[in-house]
């Protein structure tokens, strides 16, 4: 099992996983930390929703001059705060969930957000000779792009949010280690933008009406991968 498949499973069922998933978590510290985070969020939501809701009392009808269709106002005002409190609790849980799962940081530039994003998925950067399936790759990039097999051995594929857009996050095995590739069909740039981080370097390349970010270790010969990736990608209109 690969990291992206494991995280999809734990996001769907935080409290229960198959034996294969448990074995993967035992070998991958990043995914095990992700599991603990998702389980903490699941427990937080359960506690927030586990509130006592008193039975809704229907307002009494006052009998005035033989008519029994007049609502007694004092009793009518009792139930409203209960449902307002419930709605507020649900709203709080929703906000907590969104803030927990989403990256709320605001970055001054696209390049800085891309470099920071690499720290969020360390499990993706593993050396392997196992490629993801064609079906997995298609499920991640299929709506935005086409990519042929000349790009290299793709060992990871997941949809991520960059600059407010859901984009394909891929990892290709390079000569010195894993190389991150972000397909950015919504980000049009005029010229190549260099990327620099601690121990890494890369570039955002203009490609048609979008761009592609490629980041690897400092001693990785990225130029070879850049050409292969750019030549292998076509945007879908």
Q: What is the pLDDT along the chain (237 residues), one digit of tens a residue?
A: 666 677 777 777 777 667 777 777 777 766 776 777 777 777 777 766 666 656 656 656 555 555 555 555 554 444 445 555 555 555 555 555 544 444 455 667 888 888 888 876 767 888 999 999 999 999 999 888 999 888 999 999 999 889 889 999 999 999 989 999 999 999 999 999 999 888 889 999 999 999 999 999 999 999 999 999 999 999 987
| Angle value at C-alpha 35, between 33 and 40, nearest 5 degrees | 95
Residues 89, 49 contacting (CB under 8 angstroms): yes
Domains and CATH numbers, the chain: 3-50 (no CATH), 110-235 (3.40.1000)
DSSP 8-state secondary structure symbol assigned to residue 109: S
* CA distance between the termini of the chain: 33
**Hey, which residues does 233 pair with through a beta bridge?**
147
C-alpha pair distances (Å), 78 with each of 50, 54, 60, 88, 132? 21, 11, 12, 17, 58
CA-CA distance, 210 to 234, in Å (whole number)? 10
Work out whether strand 178-184 and strand 165-173 pair parallel, antiparallel, or are unpaired: antiparallel
| Contacts of 116 by beta carbon, 8 Å cutoff, 6+ apart | 105, 107
Q: Say what the pTM is.
A: 0.59
Which residue is it, tokens 């709203």?
Answer: 91
| Contacts of 94 by beta carbon, 8 Å cutoff, 6+ apart | none
DSSP 8-state secondary structure symbol assigned to residue 191: S
Mapped onto helix, strand or coil, the DSSP state of residue 52 is coil
pLDDT tens-digit map of 56-82: 566 565 555 555 555 555 544 444 455
**Secondary structure of the chain: what % helix, strand, coil (to 5)?**
45, 25, 30
Backbone torsion region of residue 115, taken as left when φ is above 0, otherwise alpha when ψ lies between -120 and 50, otherwise beta: alpha
Residues 80, 59 contacting (CB under 8 angstroms): no
């Amino acid at each position: 099992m690969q990291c992206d498949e494991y995280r999809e499973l734990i996001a769907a069922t935080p409290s229960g996983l198959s034996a294969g998933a448990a074995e993967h978590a035992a070998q991958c510290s990043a995914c095990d930390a992700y599991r603990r985070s998702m389980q903490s969020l699941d427990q937080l939501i359960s506690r927030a929703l586990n509130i006592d809701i008193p039975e809704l009392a229907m307002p009494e009808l006052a009998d005035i001059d033989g008519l029994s269709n007049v609502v007694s106002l004092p009793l009518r005002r009792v139930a409203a705060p209960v449902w307002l409190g419930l709605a507020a609790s649900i709203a709080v849980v929703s906000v907590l969930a969104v803030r927990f799962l989403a990256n709320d940081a605001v970055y001054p530039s696209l390049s800085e957000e891309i470099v920071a994003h690499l720290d969020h998925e360390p499990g993706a950067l593993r050396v392997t000779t196992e490629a993801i399936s064609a079906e997995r790759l298609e499920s991640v990039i299929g709506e935005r792009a086409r990519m042929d097999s000349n790009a290299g051995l793709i060992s990871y594929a997941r949809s991520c949010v960059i600059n407010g857009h859901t984009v394909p996050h891929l990892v290709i095995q390079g000569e010195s280690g894993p190389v991150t590739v972000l397909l950015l069909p919504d980000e049009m740039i005029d010229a190549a933008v260099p990327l620099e981080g601690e121990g890494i370097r890369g570039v955002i390349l203009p490609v048609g009406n979008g761009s592609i970010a490629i980041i690897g270790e400092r001693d990785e010969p990225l130029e070879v991968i850049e050409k292969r990736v750019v030549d292998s990608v076509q945007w879908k209109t």
